[in-house]
Structure 1
Amino acid sequence: MEAQRVFDAHAHLAPRPDSAERILTSMDRNGIDRTVVVAGAAISPDELSRQIIVGGHIEKDADNTAVLEGCAGAPGRLVPFFFANPHREAGEYRSRGTEFRGLKLAPGVHGVPLADERTQALVSAAAELGHNVYLHCLHREGFGVRDLVGLARRFPAVTFVLGHAGVGDLDLYGIDLITDSGNIVFETSGGYTSVVSAAIERLGAERVLFGSEYPLQAPEVELAKFKALGLPADQWRLIAWENTMRLIGETP
């Protein structure tokens, strides 16, 4: 796999003074040029782990202002997404949306199903702003990949990012579910190399994005998956750079 500019499609920026410095150091160490960042620390990893398995939710807001402040110190390198809370009206996102480059939804955090009118109000605002929507799916009714497909059909002009390689680390079924939904792309953090390979084969490299899930995952681990796959240079260029550039509305 030849040297290639890398755009990390998904990482978190916690509301702490040194967060931007830490992620930039990690990016430099791993040869990552740009990173999409969303607020971190809205929920602890232990709480999130429990909610993913047994359900539940929080109604706490993520610190989107801290994300903007962190990105301001590294213009162009850190790209802010708005982490929405469906328990609030969509008005805040709509009014602040031009400061961000996309929308992040976390059903596992806030516990609001994908077909819920509150989720749809936020996606409608994203459509107005020309934003894509990054979200996680869960193995629960109302939160699954099939529910995402239904949401994507309601908003065909919006690009949706299925985060973390679908549900679990072996979601080959999820790949099949989104195959015919051209406005759903696949972000690879957390998935097995076999799943990443299947996504490239079944969806095409133009619908696959490299993401790290920093700081919960070390970016070098996610990069190593692609190195192990030994992709042709044209496929790696799409996955590592061009697809995420298009996602945020920039021409590769």
Structure 2
Amino acid sequence: MTFSIVGHGHDARGEAAWGVAVASKFLAVGNAVPAAVAGVGALATQADANVAWKGIGLSLLDEGATASVAVQRMIEEDDKRDHRQLGMVDGEGGAATYTGTACLDWAGGLAEDGPEGGGGVAIQGNVLAGPEVVDEMKRAWDAAAGEPLGRRLLAALAAGDAAGGDRRGRQSAALLVVSDGAGYAGLDDVAVDLRVDDHPDPVSELGRLLDLNDFYLTASTEDEKVPVTAELAAELDERARAAGHRDLAAWVGTENYEMRVAEDGSWIDRKVLDLLRGQH
């Protein structure tokens, strides 16, 4: 009842990243299917999903198991394995996928290890329009090589959706990407954690949310940072006061631009600077 892609790549900073994109005719699929920990790996559990596999799988990977070994151990110990589906990528980019024989047609997947240093991918789905869903997802994944992982996963998910996706229809989608230090203020590993729980076009809505996430919740790259001189600092405070705020820091906090302005005031993101100047 679901199609997903689990992958290893890099984030906008060039740091190693792991993630999952998933869509389904199922309410809040992001609550059940994806799991990931930076440096450890990522997985998707679906069909008659065994949600306990999320913790079990990540623990096996953390203990040193490869994706293929972890998947084999998990299905051997589950007496409902014929009804399960699982995709996994380990910390080194190794990939594995499993589809139980009792999963509803069309059901299947593919897995491909990445080159040394990352790039592994596992794609799987059940109750799909046909095998072309998985094929188109792989084609889009390959075509997006070099893109940040979140964008690459979303491109593959959109391609699967366009190829027919879940043959019962659309309802929800989710995207989870982790990378060391990529979270809010750099304090955790969650680079992207977006869920569209109930929507007529959830994959497109997920794309809109990713655009917002990239702006509000992703740290500026070095190329996006504008050094703040004494003259620019005076301008920024003046413009912030003209917008009704005490100073630039108050404007930044009100507009939720904390990830795009240096805490010590030494730089400001080019897009944020343009927004502030554009207000007046």
TM-score, length-scaled by structure 1: 0.31
Q: Select the structure of larger CA radius of gyration.
A: 2
More helix by share: 1
Normalising by structure 2, what TM-score? Answer: 0.29
| Larger strand proportion of the pair | 2
